[in-house]
Structure 1
Amino acid sequence: MADTRPPLVLASASPRRLDLLARLGIVPERVIATDIDETPYKGEIPRPHAARLALAKAEAAAALAPAGIVLAADTVVGVGRRILPKAETEAQARDCLALMSGRKHRVITAVVLALPDGRRLKRVVASDVTFQRLTGQQVEDYLASGEWQGKAGGYAIQGRAEQYIRFLSGSHSNVVGLPLFETAQLLRGIGWLRP
């Protein structure tokens, strides 16, 4: 029987998001890496920032694949009202780890579906994560792994950093970069994924 569903387009080149979708049995027909300015607006706080970026990614990809269902997401790490960067340098990663050491931070992922009829469906998911108090040696060992590069907040929970996570409340897949329950619910809600 032929598949009559519109093609699913992932608006992200993240291998983590592809891996997470595979857990749902989903392989996107197309992947479009969007290039948007991710700089926070002055005074912008984590939740609205994640929602704005996910929508911008969805819109950019939908313009290139108007007949598809575009799935876009953006993950932001926040400490209070502060948005932590996607660490590009060791110094940024060290600053993030120092700030999160021994305290709680929040990981927020906004997921947006852009439908061919112009509708935009959104979910925003937050998980609370607490690192143990990190020793100087633990920070240096983690930085030496290189795992932090390009990661929101300077760490990857699905890698070596997980050994330092004392507490997690919420979705583990959200912290990795795509909350699977909410993503599946969005896709089921439009009839793309079977109930």
Structure 2
Amino acid sequence: MKKGPFHNHSPIVLASGSPRRRELMSDLGLTFDVHPSPLDEPLPEPGESPAAYVLRMAELKTLDVAARFRGATVIGADTAVVLGNRIMGKPQSKLDALEMLTALSGATHQVVSGFCVVLPDGKTLSEAVSTDVDMRQSSEAELMSYIETGEPMDKAGAYAIQGVGTFLVTAIRGSYTNVVGLPVARVLEILLSWAIVVPRQG
């Protein structure tokens, strides 16, 4: 565990198996257990906005885990890549990844993360955060070469801003860590305000 600028003096449970979210939490210096929810994620409901959908998913997973870890602070999140009104999940095939990346190429999309924090007393706080992402115009050959790295296949929208896929992005407006999978500054604000987390001394 690396020594970060904060520490927690009560138990925290991360209700997500995402390595990226684990890394973001570890970078803060927090200690936590990882217990992803086994629940399946339902599809968006007709007319449901991306923000409402990711909030519903974050709350579904976090409350499921919190029921088993009463007295702990439980944090969960769900992230979606959104182009227009289309919510992009993880690609099902290389062809699917190419279709997604082609649609995103040269366009601006949103990455919307919903997060949910269940406090030790059972109080639940949840929010959605959106970041605009501008993508460069990429050729099919470039996109296929990227897909062959294997990175896009388990990523929503078929790219990772913190990985090889950084070459696809020309600009962002909003939280960078939100695009990675967790709006760290906002989650930390909540944890500090409830004294779950404090600055490390010495």
Mark yes or no: TM-score above 0.5: yes
Matching of residue 180 in structure 1 with residue 184 in structure 2: yes
- The corresponding residue for 1:32 is 35
> Shift of the alpha carbon at 1:129?
0.4
| Structure 1 stretches of at least 4 aligned residues deviating more than 6 Å after TM superposition | none
Work out the CA distance in 1 between the residues paired with 2:107 and 2:151: 21
Shift of the 182–35 alpha-carbon distance from structure 1 to 2, 3 Å rule, reads: same
- The corresponding residue for 1:88 is 92
Q: How does 1:159-178 map onto structure 2 within 5 Å?
A: 159-178=163-182
Superposed CA RMSD: 1.6
Point out the more displaced range, 84-93 or 57-66: 84-93
The residue identity in structure 2 corresponding to 1:33 is: P
Q: How does 1:1-195 map onto structure 2 within 5 Å?
A: 5-28=9-32, 30-38=33-41, 39-194=43-198
Shift of the 6–95 alpha-carbon distance from structure 1 to 2, 3 Å rule, reads: same
Contact 1:45 1:82 in 2 (8 A): no
> Shift of the alpha carbon at 1:4?
8.7
Aligned length: 192
Identity percentage over the alignment? 35
Point out the more displaced range, 35-44 or 156-165: 35-44
Work out the CA distance in 1 between the residues paired with 2:94 and 2:31: 33
Contact 1:61 1:70 in 2 (8 A): yes
Name the SS for the 1:174 alignment partner. helix
Q: How big is each residue's C-alpha offset from its partner over 1:98-154, in whole Å with a ceiling of 9 and x where there is no partner?
A: 111100000011111012322111222111001111101111011001101221111
The residue identity in structure 1 corresponding to 2:68 is: L
Compute the TM-score of the two structures, normalised by the length of structure 1. Answer: 0.93
* Structure 1: gaps spanning 5 or more residues: none
The residue identity in structure 2 corresponding to 1:63 is: A
* Structure 2: gaps spanning 5 or more residues: 1-6
Q: How big is each residue's C-alpha offset from its partner over 1:72-97, in whole Å with a ceiling of 9 and x where there is no partner?
A: 01111111111111223222211210
